[in-house]
């Protein structure tokens, strides 16, 4: 049985390869580090900052070992490997002539102390040719959860850090999807995060509200709020994203399970009151 480990990466880092073999099993591993990027906003556009480094993920398939665990009163579990003396005879599953045996899927994540213990995420199975694509959506869903999504931009009008009492303060975002490319089991795949809803909070104690609308600038604005008194406030935006994937060469995007959220905020906004005053006619008219 041949096991292949692939890292889920976003950028053009060169992967490192390593491998092991034991009896009739061979495991080959390619690991690529992931790096997030922060972008500063310009011209009144304020962006949140994602983490600078994310945990890489590596996956591989192999025929699992069936291990006897003494602390579970004789129960058996599938595992990547077993302690000496705990492995039971196991020849793998038997499939029909028109099916292909696929090894169990294991994965690890790199954390500050090194790689986590291997986790069984999919048991081995018999797949017909038509069902073999079942692996890609499941792996794409995991890649979406690992994806570092750039937070939505947040633009405020008026743009100079102040606004007036009882006058509309406008907010909007870009509404654009975020896309990254990776490989899943050696197949080039695009992963896309699509904004599905926006939750706006104008920071003055008024209730937050959600829309599917990213808003627009004046005069076609659709997201606005009138402050009722002087003070200061920070506008915040939470974007909810849904995931999609497509295989290289295929124009069709397919949904994956799960959601992700990002947070963005404006700078502090001064809320002032405009007052009319009578002034002396300096020209004596």
- Beta carbons of 162 and 270 less than 8 angstroms apart: yes
**Cα(155)–Cα(178) distance, integer angstroms:** 18
Q: What is the mean pLDDT of the chain?
A: 75
pLDDT at 186: 72
Between 260 and 94, residue with greater pLDDT? 260
pLDDT at 191: 96
Residue at token pair 């906004």: 269
pLDDT > 60? residue 10: no
- Beta carbons of 136 and 243 less than 8 angstroms apart: no
pLDDT tens for 109-133 read: 778 888 888 887 777 877 765 445 5
Give me the phi and psi of 221, to 5 degrees please.
-65, 150
Distances (CA, A) of 241 to 120, 131, 147, 255: 27, 28, 11, 11
Query: What string of DSSP letters covers 44-90?
Result: TEEE----SEE--EEEEEEPPEEEE-GGGTT-EEEES---TT-BPP-
pLDDT tens for 35-91 read: 333 333 323 333 343 333 334 667 777 777 777 655 455 555 667 777 666 666 666
pLDDT at 60: 75
Helix (H, G, I), strand (E, B) or coil at 134: helix
Closest CA to 231 of 196, 179, 188, 268: 268
pLDDT tens for 187-244 read: 789 999 999 999 999 999 999 999 999 999 999 999 999 999 999 999 999 999 999 9
Binned at pLDDT 50, 70 and 90, residue 139 comes out as confident
**Pairing state between β 25-31 and 2-7:** parallel
Give me the phi and psi of 129, to 5 degrees please.
-60, -40
pLDDT > 90? residue 181: yes
pLDDT at 89: 60
pLDDT at 261: 96
- Beta carbons of 97 and 83 less than 8 angstroms apart: no
pLDDT > 60? residue 14: no
Binned at pLDDT 50, 70 and 90, residue 6 comes out as very low
Provide mean pLDDT across the span 93-99: 81
Binned at pLDDT 50, 70 and 90, residue 177 comes out as very high
pLDDT at 111: 80
């Amino acid at each position: 049985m041949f096991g292949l480990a692939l890292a889920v990466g976003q950028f053009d880092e060169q992967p490192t390869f390593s491998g092991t073999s034991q009896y009739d099993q061979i495991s080959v591993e390619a690991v690529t580090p992931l790096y997030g990027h922060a972008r500063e906003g310009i011209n009144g556009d304020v962006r949140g900052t994602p983490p600078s480094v994310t945990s890489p993920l590596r996956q591989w398939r192999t025929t699992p070992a069936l291990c006897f665990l003494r602390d579970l009163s004789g129960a058996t579990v599938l595992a990547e490997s077993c302690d000496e003396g705990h492995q039971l005879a196991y020849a793998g599953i038997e499939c029909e002539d028109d099916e292909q045996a696929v090894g169990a899927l294991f994965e690890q994540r790199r954390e500050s102390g090194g790689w986590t213990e291997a986790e069984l995420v999919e048991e081995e199975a018999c797949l017909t040719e038509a069902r073999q694509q079942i692996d890609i959506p499941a792996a794409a869903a995991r890649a979406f959860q690992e994806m570092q999504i750039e937070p939505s931009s947040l633009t405020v009008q008026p743009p100079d850090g102040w606004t007036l009492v009882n006058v509309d303060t406008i907010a909007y975002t870009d509404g654009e999807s975020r896309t990254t490319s990776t490989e899943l089991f050696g197949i080039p795949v695009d992963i896309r995060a699509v904004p599905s809803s926006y939750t706006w909070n104008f920071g003055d104690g008024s209730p937050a509200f959600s829309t599917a609308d990213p808003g627009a600038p004046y005069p076609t604005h659709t997201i606005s709020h009138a402050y009722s008194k002087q003070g200061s406030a920070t506008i915040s935006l939470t974007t909810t994203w849904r995931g999609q994937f497509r295989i290289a060469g295929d124009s069709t995007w397919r949904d994956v399970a799960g959601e992700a959220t990002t947070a963005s905020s404006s700078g502090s906004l001064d809320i002032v009151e405009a007052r009319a005053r009578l002034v002396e006619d300096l020209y004596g008219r």
